[in-house]
Amino acid sequence: MIGSVRAFASATAALFALSCSALVDENSSGASGTAGGGSTAGAGGTVPEQPVTCLHALTRRVRRLSAREYLNVLTDLLGESAATAARALLPFEPRLAGFDNQDGGLLVSAAYQEALFNIAEKVAGAADPATLAPCAAGADAAGCLSAFAQSFARRAYGRAPTADESMRLLAAGATGPDYATSVRLVIEAVLQSPNTVYATELGPVDSGKAGAEVTLAPHEIATQLSLVLTAARPDEALLAAVDAGQLGTPDELRAQLTRLLATPRAREQLRHFIDGWLDIGPVADAPKDATTFPEYTPALAAAMQQELDQFIDAKVAGGSGTLLSLLTDPSTNVPPALAPIYGASLTESGLDPARRKGILALPGLLAYHSADQHSGPIERGLFVKRQLFCQVLPPPPASVIDRLARMPLDTHDKARTTRQKYEMHVNEQFCAGCHDQFDGIGFGLEEMDALGRYRTTENGLPVDSSGSLAGTDVDGTFNGVVQLTEKLAQSEQIKTCFTQHFFRFAASRPPTADEQCVLDSWAKTFSAGGTHIEDLLLSWLTDPRFVVRKEDR
Amino acid sequence: MKTKQFGRRELLRAAGATLAVPFFLKQAFAGAAPRPPNLVLLMQTNGTNQKNYWPADGSFDSPILHELLSDPVLASKTTLLKNINFDSTGTPTGNGHDWGFHGLYSGFAAINNGPDQFGGGISLDHVVAQTVKLGRPIDKLHCGVHAVDYKIINAGRASFSALGAHQQVPCELDLYALYTKVFGSPTVDTPEARAAAALRIVQKKSVLDAVAGDLQALQGRLGPTERNKVDIHLTAVRDFENRLSATIPAPIGACAEVKPSRPGVPTEGQGNEANAEPLLRLFMEFIANAVACDMVGCLSFQFGRGGDHFHYRWLDIPGMPEDAHDLVAHLDDGNNPDIARINTAIKVWYTMLVTDLARRLDAFPQADGATALDNSLVVWGNEIATGTHAMEKMPLALLGKAGGRLKKTGWIVDAGAQPHHRLGATVLNIMGNPVAGFGNLPNCGMLKGLELNL
């Protein structure tokens, strides 16, 4: 799973040092400006030689778990059926910047609290106290209930409940007329408790003076580790380790990292990261005009989704995979339903690498990033610039509306290709000022239609897939998705941008302006090591921001 | 309030053959008329066709509003607010969709950019709920229908309801869950059932007390910024606890039997264009039921996400593009007859929905002889003014008489250009909160020209 044991040892040693000594010193402000600490090159698992400490830590916070994280906790506590019942009761919340865990978008509003109440009541009602909290006939029921509350809350909170918290749980349970009802009431209280609903990043209870830097409590560190790797609370093995004080040495932490990255949850979590990087939601959500694309059925969308998910899982490979393999690897497991989409590109030995390679050539991604009636060169160009290069492109100016009103685009026009319809952007100086930045990318993908099918003609006219990149570190011309992919693979900006997405995913917040130095350092390590995703994980886990916060009281 | 008697024939005509008011519902309104008025905030998106929205001089009818204004009773209870301009004090980020979606009912400028763009302050629904004693089982609800706008860049446009800057409150989409929330599940009223309900309240309160205790313990460990999050959470817990206690011991009578006229329409948040049309109709029915049964004090509703991308396939409008947004929200400058025709056809459909809501409300007699519409204030707004992202002459209408607090209805208020903040200030005053301003214009005053009886 992990390529370099040495690298892990270095990384975890750094984490150990951070969590135990230097950064709890309130006098070590961390503002020394040592951005871009050196790195040790190596194939996978390359780590910084020392943590980047170019700014203060951010303030302590509580972050509400995302719906996905909460449902994972529920699954661990009461099984998949409980999570299934709960899923439908949670209000819809949009992802921010592609990720569902962003602190800025997570709040317990009245609607959310009501959902938590309803979920708790429903799943507790369906729970079997005899299985969850067995209590032999004649045994001390109060003792049984107390033991159950303790163990159930421990899994939900990621730590043992305090004495006060236990008392509150038992007080809730005490209103039950019988043991089974009491167990259910305890379950309800635990599932709605802020100790379940939030991940705290506060440090020890009496952590220090205002402005001081504090290190998170050991159980908070374990929860942070578990959330970023598995989108769930620590499992029993991690809990047992931290309870026993066995998360402090590099070897102990390495063992947990390696173990968690091998879990199905970690695979899903890393896929969530890649989906966010690529701005992909469910493929089936991408609207397609039924008249133009009658073959775009739910079954076809599901096949596209399946291929996309499997491709990501295979290339990410539990963290040991690379960004470059995501971008350039031609091997993919094609579901039978996609054979008509691939057509001649699909041979007995796989896909023709001269025509398709990498994730940008997958039908699922091409279909998602296109328009509902056509290939959407503008959408695709914007996608590449915004998501892969992290470039901020302004919305169209107000005056563009007048021009559009005078020159409406007829998407039903069958006398021209899609490219020809949009080439007015290039030919009109007013439009070209902005569209030159991204239209050329989309034009270069015109060989792939809105369902990701290779084509040489459109409306009976030859398709022109000559494209260009501008405003990047790999500017120049290309023709088709394969050549675009090869150019992107040479770009350092792509790697830096990928790092920015990862920071947001891992930290559950956008980077501040002051944190550019951190991103630069991570990107340098990431690129030098061959773009192994595990390097980014290690950058995060060894960064002071992972375990250090500033006292805000 | 003048008494109005409804015969069965008139009720059926008003409500339509499939909209007949159940007898048991009428029975439910034997109690006192609600005070303050029920407030409904409707948010439409993508603007309107200005020429076809506003009545011509000397008239009180228009192509877009014809369904509503051609009904003399409903017309007499409608007030059009002309020359209200969106005021961009605070320099909102994004474009008109963001400005109006977040700002029309908050008075604050949209903040941040890209995926982190959200409203810049508390929205009117929450201000009302926090400052006015509404006296209903549920103080407020925010709900709506989402459609096919699936890209993440517009996450902030998922809901206009906000507790503060960057504190978006989810838009509740599950119509059927909302019925359960508002009207509960049917129960048998027996002594045993009442005893069981009373026991349930005790148990659930003990659970919520434990939750509140944990929240208070957490509060004490936090600095001011993070404490605000937990404060909001704790308020939600306490409000829910109060509601639980208030509603369950007191049966809500015949209104408990209210249910949607059509079951089983999927309500998932994304990509549900195929269900948008029936859902929007069902939501009009729901709003009418919730308001007429006096169950919700402030109900806010969005017809779609901000700058929504409905396709309106069900309207089958000749020449309609696949995505109506770009056409109606960008290109309708009034000069292209084809675009104006398409935009108008879409907006006529929205008027039919709102008229349906108004008819339903007006079909419910209440204790003082007035109707639920008379005792309500329905604000029908739009995030932008016209299909060129213009923000002047926002299409705004008030339906109902706000329990008599709207002194004069059935006319167009036009006192010259006014900032949209005055709408919020006016609504708050009508609801009983005598504010001097709204949002980031704390002294803007109320709408001029409107005749009120406060």
Span A20-37, average pLDDT? 31
Cβ contacts below 8 Å, chain A against chain B, sum to 203
Q: Contact B218/A95, CB-based, under 8 Å?
A: no
Q: Contact A192/B207, CB-based, under 8 Å?
A: yes
A400 has a pLDDT exceeding 80: no
Q: Contact B213/A168, CB-based, under 8 Å?
A: yes
B37 has a pLDDT exceeding 60: yes
Query: Tens digits of per-residue pLDDT, A121-162?
Result: 999 999 999 999 999 989 999 999 999 999 999 999 999 999
Distance CA A369, CA B173 (A): 26
Residues 169-198 of A with CB under 8 A from B: 169, 171-172, 174-177, 181, 185, 188-189, 192-195, 197-198
Span B123-127, average pLDDT? 97
pLDDT at A436: 86
**How close is the nearest chain A Cα to the Cα of B130, in Å?**
13
**How close is the nearest chain B Cα to the Cα of A384, in Å?**
14
**How close is the nearest chain B Cα to the Cα of A293, in Å?**
12
Please list, residue by residue across B204-217, b when 16 or more beta carbons sit within 10 angstroms of its beta carbon and e when fewer do: bbbbbbbbbbbbeb
A392 has a pLDDT exceeding 50: yes
Q: Which residues contact A12 (CB under 8 A, 6 or more apart)?
A: A249, A250, A251, A253, A254, A257, A541, A542
Residues 49-78 of A with CB under 8 A from B: 59-62, 64
Q: Which residues contact A460 (CB under 8 A, 6 or more apart)?
A: none
Share of chain A above pLDDT 70, in %: 87
The closest of A115, A133, A118, A117 to A78, measured between CA atoms, is A133
Chain A residues close to B236, C-beta within 8 Å:
108-110, 112-114
A399: Cα within 13 Å, side-chain hemisphere: 2
Distance CA B204, CA A118 (A): 11
Which helix (H) or strand (E) segment is A260 a member of? helix A250-261
B249 touches chain A (CB under 8 A): no
A54 has a pLDDT exceeding 80: no
Chain A residues close to B331, C-beta within 8 Å:
401, 404-405, 408
Chain A residues close to B166, C-beta within 8 Å:
104
Q: Contact B150/A171, CB-based, under 8 Å?
A: no
B16 has a pLDDT exceeding 50: no
Amino acid identity of residue A541, one-letter, is: L
Residues 273-292 of A with CB under 8 A from B: 279, 281-282, 284-287, 289
Among the partner residues A91, A113, A176, nearest to B203 by beta-carbon distance: A176
Query: Tens digits of per-residue pLDDT, B241-290?
Result: 888 776 433 334 556 678 899 998 888 755 557 788 999 999 999 999 99
Query: Tens digits of per-residue pLDDT, A294-348?
Result: 999 999 999 999 999 999 999 999 999 999 999 999 999 999 999 999 998 888 7
Among the partner residues A91, A168, A285, nearest to B150 by beta-carbon distance: A285
The closest of A284, A302, A295 to A449, measured between CA atoms, is A295
Confidence of residue B48 (pLDDT cuts 50, 70, 90): very high
B358 has a pLDDT exceeding 70: yes
Q: Looking at per-residue confidence, does A336 or B224 come out higher?
A: A336
Looking only at the bridges linking them, the beta strands covering A548-550 and B138-144 are unpaired
Chain B residues close to A372, C-beta within 8 Å:
322-323
Residues 18-77 of B with CB under 8 A from A: none
Share of chain A above pLDDT 90, in %: 66
A430 has a pLDDT exceeding 70: yes
Distance CA B114, CA A382 (A): 13
Q: Which residues contact A208 (CB under 8 A, 6 or more apart)?
A: A26, A214, A551
Q: Return the DSSP state at B418.
A: E
Amino acid identity of residue A269, one-letter, is: Q
What is the distance of C-alpha A510 from the center of its chain?
Answer: 13
Q: Return the DSSP state at A387.
A: I
The answer to whether B278 and B269 are in contact (CB under 8 A) is no
Chain A residues close to B318, C-beta within 8 Å:
none
Confidence of residue B66 (pLDDT cuts 50, 70, 90): very high
Distance CA B101, CA B45 (A): 8
Residues 83-122 of A with CB under 8 A from B: 88-89, 91-98, 104-105, 107-114, 117, 120-121
Place of tokens 């503008």: A378
Residues 293-352 of B with CB under 8 A from A: 311, 321-323, 326, 330-331, 333, 335-336, 339
Chain B residues close to A177, C-beta within 8 Å:
199
B215 touches chain A (CB under 8 A): yes
Share of chain B above pLDDT 90, in %: 60
The answer to whether A146 and A166 are in contact (CB under 8 A) is yes
Among the partner residues B150, B221, B270, nearest to A202 by beta-carbon distance: B221
The closest of B336, B332, B312 to B323, measured between CA atoms, is B312
Chain B residues close to A120, C-beta within 8 Å:
207
A15 has a pLDDT exceeding 60: no
Structure tokens, A123: 């799943």
B186 has a pLDDT exceeding 80: no
Average pLDDT in chain B:
86
pLDDT at A408: 61
B451 has a pLDDT exceeding 50: yes
pLDDT at A394: 77
Q: Contact B240/A117, CB-based, under 8 Å?
A: yes
- DSSP reduced 3-state for A93: coil
A407 touches chain B (CB under 8 A): no
Chain B interface mutation, best of A59, A96, A372, A375, highest count of B Cβ atoms under 10 Å: A96
∠ CA A298-A300-A303, nearest 5°, is 110
Span B136-151, average pLDDT? 81
The closest of A357, A333, A335, A340 to A296, measured between CA atoms, is A340
B227 touches chain A (CB under 8 A): no
Span B315-336, average pLDDT? 78
Q: Contact A202/B181, CB-based, under 8 Å?
A: no
CB atoms within 10 A of CB A152: 22
pLDDT at A404: 64
Structure tokens, B161: 């309801």
Chain A residues close to B118, C-beta within 8 Å:
104
Q: Classify residue A267 as left (phi > 0), alpha (psi -120 to 50) or beta.
A: alpha
Span A234-263, average pLDDT? 90
pLDDT at A386: 93
Q: Contact A202/B233, CB-based, under 8 Å?
A: no
A463 has a pLDDT exceeding 80: yes
Residues 394-453 of B with CB under 8 A from A: none
Q: Contact A164/B217, CB-based, under 8 Å?
A: yes
A35 has a pLDDT exceeding 70: no
Which helix (H) or strand (E) segment is B286 a member of? helix B273-292
Q: Contact A60/B223, CB-based, under 8 Å?
A: yes
∠ CA B418-B420-B423, nearest 5°, is 100
Chain A residues close to B388, C-beta within 8 Å:
401-402, 405
CB atoms within 10 A of CB A548: 26
Which of A482-496, A512-526, B143-157 is least confident?
A: B143-157
Looking only at the bridges linking them, the beta strands covering B396-399 and B78-81 are antiparallel
pTM score, whole prediction: 0.86
Q: Contact B170/A98, CB-based, under 8 Å?
A: no
Q: Contact B155/A105, CB-based, under 8 Å?
A: yes
Amino acid identity of residue A495, one-letter, is: K
Chain B residues close to A194, C-beta within 8 Å:
211, 214-215, 218, 230, 233
Name the most confidently modeled range: A171-180, A290-299, A393-402, B217-226: A171-180
Sheet arrangement for strand B78-81: B138-144, B296-302, B38-44, B376-382, B396-399, B78-81, B411-413
Which helix (H) or strand (E) segment is B38 a member of? strand B38-44
Chain A residues close to B140, C-beta within 8 Å:
110
What was the ipTM of the complex prediction?
0.88
Q: Within A407-479, where are the H helices?
A: 418-422, 424-427, 429-435, 439-443
Residue B41 β-bridge partners:
B300, B379
